[in-house]
Amino acid sequence: MSDKAKPVRRLNSGNVTVAIWENAPGKGPRHTVTAGRSYKKDDEWKESNIYGSDDLMTLCKLLDMAHTWIVNQSIDSKAA
């Protein structure tokens, strides 16, 4: 079994991915977000954080969805 941290949520569309990570400082969980784009080079899949113009709206939508998910988590934790 691996001890490597995993995101609490992953959002994908095409080759663009946004991952939401949870950190637990003193005042409850906080979230951070990473984004990436996968591409194939010489029969090997690679990951980049450079986006083409055709990736930008997809990235924006995924970041918006990540923001909504984080806000909802905050609302749910305050209601509990």
Q: Where are the domains of the chain?
A: 9-79
Q: What is the layout of strands, in order, in the sheet containing 30-41?
A: 9-13, 16-23, 30-41, 44-48
**Which spans in the chain are helix H?**
56-79
**Nearest-angstrom CA–CA distance, 8 and 26:** 19
**Nearest-angstrom CA–CA distance, 71 and 36:** 22
Q: Are residues 14 and 59 in contact, defined by beta-carbon separation less than 8 angstroms? A: no
Read off the pTM.
0.84
Q: What pLDDT score was predicted for residue 18?
A: 98
pLDDT, one tens digit per residue, over 13-45 is: 999 999 999 987 667 779 999 999 999 999 999
Q: What pLDDT score was predicted for residue 46?
A: 96
